[in-house]
Structure formats: structure tokens, C-alpha cells
Amino acid sequence: MSERVPVEVDDGVAHVRMNRPEKMNALDTDMFDGILAAADRIRADLSVRAVVLSGEGVAFSAGLDVASLGQIATGELNPESDSIQAATRDLSRDGANRAQQLAWAWHELPVPVIAAVHGAAYGAGLHIALGADIRFVAPDARLAFVEVTWGLVPDLSGTQSLRRLVSLDVAKKMIFSGEVVEGIKAVAMGLGTELSDNPVEDALAYARVVAQRSPDAVRAAKALLNDSVLVPLAEGLAAEMSASAGLMGKPNQIESVMSKLQKRPADFADPEL
């Protein structure tokens, strides 16, 4: 387990914490590797029913470590180096390279991912938050794609996740200027799901509710919703029926019914790969 990104699993809920508070959880190489390792670990753990992403200290994440950008600007770190080029390989199912998987991996995980956003969520930090399925956002949180102020564009999947949440003109307004959006406005415009004075507490509480549902049904629902923005309506409707038929009469679906009839907590089996 990475000290920079510890993962704690309790009753089916994995809590992934970015743990570099002295640097506002800015992403250096160790943090980057730790986040990817956390996603890989959770993907392989079929007992995990839901995930919470949070940041220690005063911020969710201030984005990429400024020192890394400085090294590129001064030539100390060559953008064509093997290590950076390696990050553009290893494509995921959706075509995200290893660097983009920093954020997109959470979208691709089969279980729901909830981000608890407080303080700054800038650049790569916002990419990660938008990779989650649901975001509890503190009223005074500050969200921004700051890449343009460094002469860059959002390239860790943020243009794709942002466009799924807000209208095209709103996405352009944010990215062209690098404007900072506070939590209340972020929720109003669709960047955040719900305002929360205690994002971590509320995210964990919601994750525990999800963990009490059939993991087969929850995974199927996430897959359907993720695909709904990509496929034609007829294909999406057919996928609904196929998913429902695939769940009907299976052990976890039967357990859902019996636990309700018998007024007891459900005891679900782990899903199959």
C-alpha cells in the first residue's frame, strides 16, 4: 500500500485518500503511481462495492506538482523521455492511456466511485474528481482546469468527463480561461452532485448505502449509465432489457427479494469477473 495513497476497505467500501497534505496533495510521481495502483487493486478486489476518493488536509488536490512542469519548461525533464512516453501507452478499455487513467480509471471501475471534494481541486485534481460517478462538494471548494495558464490543455481525460456533465459552451468557458468555480456554483452548473459541509462523511455514508445493494445490479446499472451517452437510443434500451434478464433469478437477485420479504439485512455474494 502506498503511503501517499492509502486504501482502507471496510464492509465493502474502499476509501482512497490522497495523502500529501503539506503540498495540498499535489501530484508527484509517487502520488501518481499510488493512485493508479489503488485503482488496480480495487479493480481486482471483488469484495469492494463502492469507492470514496478524498484528499487529506486543506485540499482535495492542487493538481500536478509545479516542480514537474518546471522541469519540462527548463528541459530537465524531456517530454519525449521513455518515462513520459510510457505514460501514453497501455491503453485501457476506453482508450485512455496510463496518464489519463489517473482520472478515467475511476470512470472505468465497475463499482460506483464517490469523490469528496473540499478546498482546491485544480487541474489534475479536478480531472480525478470528474472521473468519479458522484461528487459531494464543500460550498467553499474551488474547482478549475488551470492548464491553459500553463500553456497547455486538459489532457488527463477532463475534456471528455466535463463534456458529459455540462453544456459545450460552459465547458469552453471554463477551459479557455482557467476560471475558478466555487462549490455552490459548481453544483448549480452540474460539476458537483450535491453540496456538503462534510463531504467525506457524506460520501462514506452514501457509499455504505450502495454497499448494501446487490453488487450485480449496481455494476450493471453503472455500465448502462456510462454507455448511455455513447450508444443510440434503441441500443441503450436493448441493453437495459438484456441486463435485467441477466440479473433475474440469479442468487443475488433472489437474495434481494428474500431479504426484503424477511425484513433482514441482505447477504450478497461477490460478483463474478
Specify whether domain 213-261 bears CATH 1.10.12: yes
Rounded CA separation 250/212 (Å):
17
- The full set of domain ranges for the chain reads 7-210, 213-261
C-alpha cell belonging to residue 115: 469523490
Question: Order of strands, edge to edge, in the sheet holding 113-117?
Answer: 7-10, 13-18, 50-55, 113-117, 134-137, 194-195
Rounded CA separation 199/238 (Å):
36
Q: Cα 159–93–97 angle (5° rounding)?
A: 55
Structure-model confidence comparison of residues 255 and 72, the more confident one:
255
- Over residues 199-247, the pLDDT tens digits come to 999 999 999 999 999 999 999 999 999 999 999 999 999 999 999 999 9
C-alpha cell belonging to residue 1: 500500500
Q: Are strands 120-122 and 113-117 parallel, antiparallel or unpaired?
A: unpaired
Answer whether 62's CB lies under 8 Å from 74's CB: no
pLDDT at 66: 76
Average pLDDT for 7-20 = 98
Rounded CA separation 112/84 (Å):
30
Q: For the chain, what is the radius of gyration of the CA atoms? A: 19
Assigned CATH class of 7-210: alpha beta
Average pLDDT for 246-262 = 97
- Over residues 60-117, the pLDDT tens digits come to 999 998 776 555 444 554 444 444 444 555 666 667 788 899 999 999 999 999 999 9
C-alpha cell belonging to residue 102: 489517473
C-alpha cell belonging to residue 27: 501530484
Q: Which of 65, 18, 50, 217 is nearest to 132 (CA)?
A: 50
pLDDT at 85: 46
* Residue matched to cell numbers 446487490: 214
Answer whether 52's CB lies under 8 Å from 106's CB: no
Rounded CA separation 121/62 (Å):
6
Q: Cα 4–46–18 angle (5° rounding)?
A: 15
CA 126 to chain centre: 10
Average pLDDT for 35-61 = 98
Q: Which of 53, 50, 65, 58 is nearest to 24 (CA)?
A: 58
Q: Which of 116, 88, 91, 118 is nearest to 105 (CA)?
A: 91
- Over residues 115-156, the pLDDT tens digits come to 999 999 999 999 999 999 999 999 999 999 999 999 999 999
Residue 230 bridge partners (DSSP): none
Q: Which of 270, 273, 248 is nearest to 48 (CA)?
A: 270
Answer whether 42's CB lies under 8 Å from 14's CB: yes
Average pLDDT for 46-71 = 89
* Residue matched to cell numbers 467500501: 13
User: Angle 233-247/215-228 helices, nearest 10 degrees?
Assistant: 170
